[in-house]
Amino acid sequence: MNYKDNKKTHERVIAMFFEAGSLRKTIRSHRQILLTDDLSDNIASHSFRVSIIGWYLAKIERADPYKVVLMSLFHDFSESRSGDQNWIHKKYLKVFDEDIQKDQLADKPFGDELTKIMGEYDERESLEAHLAKDADLLDQILLLREYEWVGNNEASA
């Protein structure tokens, strides 16, 4: 397929870019549990730091940094449609991440590549998937430490 001359493809990709931008406005739901009004903590800022941590971990472990960074960047991309769910929400809600992911990446250039990489992330069997998840958890630990530094007692519990 010639992506350069396909107007519909361009429109779908631009819509995906706008959807990625909406993650700057998608707040993380742990704010409710941590009793914080930190509006700087959103899905986009979280994914950014996860990607940096993931790249570093991949380099240390001699894993594929390209895959780890892609997994890290896209690991919460579906939350542009579902919102972020904390551990309490997840106990009671069913989010159809696979369906969202299919809809987001269908008919996009390189969508098959991203679908494959995100499937690998979800399966958590490869070193790269484990490193991306470790980066996700490390970002949360760092955030809790930052909140603790400014006196948030909920973050230190």
**Model-level pTM?**
0.86
Any idea how long the chain is?
A: 157
Cα diameter, the chain: 56
- Check: CB of residue 128 under 8 Å from CB of residue 120: yes
pLDDT of residue 82 exceeding 80, the answer is: yes
70/119 Cα distance (integer angstroms): 12
Q: What is the CATH number of domain 3-156?
A: 1.10.3210.10
pLDDT score for 157: 67
Mean pLDDT of 37-65: 93
Residue found by looking up tokens 């894993």 in the block:
63
pLDDT score for 152: 79
153/33 Cα distance (integer angstroms): 11
- Check: CB of residue 5 under 8 Å from CB of residue 65: no
31 Cβ contact partners less than 8 Å away, ≥ 6 residues apart? 37, 38, 41
pLDDT score for 56: 98
Residue 85 banded pLDDT, cuts 50, 70, 90: confident
**Residue 148: which H helix or E strand, with range?**
helix 127-149
Residue 94 banded pLDDT, cuts 50, 70, 90: confident
Mean pLDDT of 21-38: 81
pLDDT score for 154: 79
Residue 3 banded pLDDT, cuts 50, 70, 90: low
State phi, psi for 39 to the nearest 5 degrees: -80, -10
- Check: CB of residue 116 under 8 Å from CB of residue 105: no
Q: What percentage of the chain reaches a pLDDT higher than 90?
A: 44
- Check: CB of residue 32 under 8 Å from CB of residue 86: yes
**So where are the chain's domains?**
3-156
